Chain A
Amino acid sequence: MALNRNSNVYTVIYATVLTVLVAVLLTVAAVGLAPQQKANSDNEKKQQILSSISSVLGKDVTLDNAAQIWDELNMDQNLLAVNVEGNQLEGVNVFELVAKQQFSKGEVKADAQLPVFCANVGGTTYYIMCMYGAGLWDAIWGYIAVDAEGQVYGCSFDHAGETAGLGAKIKDDPNFAAAFCGKNVWKDGELASIDVNKPGKANRFVAGGEHVDCITGATKTSDCVSVMMFNSLSGYKNFLLSIKPMALSTECCGEAAAPCCGEGEGYCKGESCENVEPENK
Chain B
Amino acid sequence: MAEKKPGVFTGPLWTNNPVVVQVLGICSALAVTTQMKPALVMGISLTCVLAFANVIISLLRNTIPNRIRIIVQLVVVAALVIIVNQILKAYAFEVSKQLSVYVGLIITNCILMGRLEAFALGNKPWPALLDGLGNGLGYAIILFVVATFREFFGSGTLFGFDVIARFVNEAGYDGYQNCGFFVMPSAALILLGCIIWYLRAKNPDLQDK
A to B contact number (C-beta, < 8 Å): 60
Contact B184 A5 (CB under 8 A): no
- Assembled-state Cα–Cα distance A125/B182 (Å): 44
Interface residues on B, range: 20 to 34
The answer, yes or no, to whether A188 is at the interface (CB within 8 Å) is: no
Task: Answer yes or no: B82 CB below 8 A from chain A CBs.
Answer: yes
- With known contacts A5-B63, A33-B86, A26–B34 Cβ distance under 8 A: no
Answer whether residue A63 sits at the interface, using C-beta atoms and an 8 A cutoff. Answer: yes
Q: Mark B57-92, 1 if CB is under 8 A from A, else 0.
A: 000000111111001100110110011001101110
Whether A40 contacts B65 by the Cβ 8 Å rule is no
Chain B 180-203 residues near chain A, CB threshold 8 A: 180, 183-184
Within 8 A of A (CB), among B87-130: 87, 89-91, 93-94, 97
Q: Which residues of B contact A19 (CB under 8 A)?
A: 75
Whether A36 pairs with B91 at a CB distance below 8 angstroms is yes
A10-B65, A11-B65, A11-B68 given; A18·B86 CB < 8 A: no
Verify B34–A164 contact, CB threshold 8 A. Answer: yes
Residues of B within 8 A of A63 (CB): 93-94
B interface majority secondary structure = helix
- The distance from the CB of A140 to the nearest CB of chain B, in whole angstroms, is 15
- Contact residues in B for A40 (Cβ distance below 8 Å): 89-90, 93
Q: Nearest chain-A residue to B182 (Cβ)? A: A165
Among residues of B, the one whose C-beta sits closest to the C-beta of A25 is B79
Q: How far is the CA of A209 from the CA of B9 in the complex (A)?
A: 65
Which residues of chain A come closer than 8 Å to B63, judged between CB atoms?
5, 14
A44 close to chain B: CB less than 8 A: yes
- Residue ID in chain A nearest B78 by CB atoms: A22
Known contacts A22-B79, A63-B93; is-contact A14 B86 (Cβ 8 Å): no
Of all chain B residues, which has the CB nearest A13? Answer: B65
Is A30 on the interface with B (CB-CB < 8 A)?
yes
Interchain nearest-CB distance for A52 vs B (Å):
19
* Chain A residues with CB under 8 A of B180: 165
**Residues A6 and B75 in contact in the complex (CB < 8 Å), given A30-B86, A33-B89:** no
B183 with A165: CB separation less than 8 A? yes
Tell me if B90 and A6 are in contact (CB < 8 A): no
B67 adjacent to A26 (CB under 8 Å): no
Q: A5-B66, A14-B63, A29-B82 are in contact. Are A37 and B34 (CB under 8 A)?
A: no
Chain A contact residues (Cβ within 8 angstroms of B): what range?
20 to 34
Which one, B65, B82, B90, contacts A14 given CB within 8 A?
Answer: B65
Q: A43: which B residues are within 8 A, CB to CB?
A: 93
Interface flag for A15 (CB, 8 Å): yes
Residue of A nearest to B84 (CB): A29
Q: How many angstroms between the C-alpha atoms of A164 and B187 in the bound complex? A: 13
Residues of A within 8 A of B68 (CB): 11, 14-15
* Contact assessment for A18 and B75 in the assembled complex, using a CB-CB cutoff below 8 Å: yes
Docked complex: A146-192 residues within 8 A CB-CB of B: 164-165
Which chain B residues border A6 with CB–CB below 8 Å? Answer: 65-67
- Provide the A52-69 mask, 1 if CB < 8 A to any CB of B, else 0: 000000000001000000
- Partner pick for B86 among A5, A22, A37, CB 8 A cutoff: A37
Please give, as numbers and ranges, the residues of chain A lying within 8 Å of B97 by CB-CB distance: 44
Q: What is the CA–CA distance of A103 and B91 in the complex, to the nearest angstrom? A: 32
A26-B79 in contact (CB<8A) = yes
Residues of chain A within 8 A of B91, CB atoms compared:
36
Residues of B within 8 A of A164 (CB): 34, 183
Chain A residues packing against B (C-beta within 8 Å): 5-6, 10-11, 14-15, 18-19, 22, 25-26, 29-30, 33, 36-37, 40-41, 43-44, 63, 164-165
**10 nearest CB pairs, A to B:** A36-B90, A165-B183, A40-B93, A33-B90, A11-B65, A22-B79, A37-B89, A37-B90, A33-B86, A29-B83
21 residue pairs of the A-B complex, CB under 8 angstroms, read: A5-B63, A5-B66, A6-B66, A14-B65, A14-B72, A15-B71, A18-B72, A22-B79, A29-B83, A33-B86, A33-B87, A33-B89, A36-B90, A40-B93, A41-B93, A43-B93, A44-B93, A63-B93, A164-B34, A165-B180, A165-B183
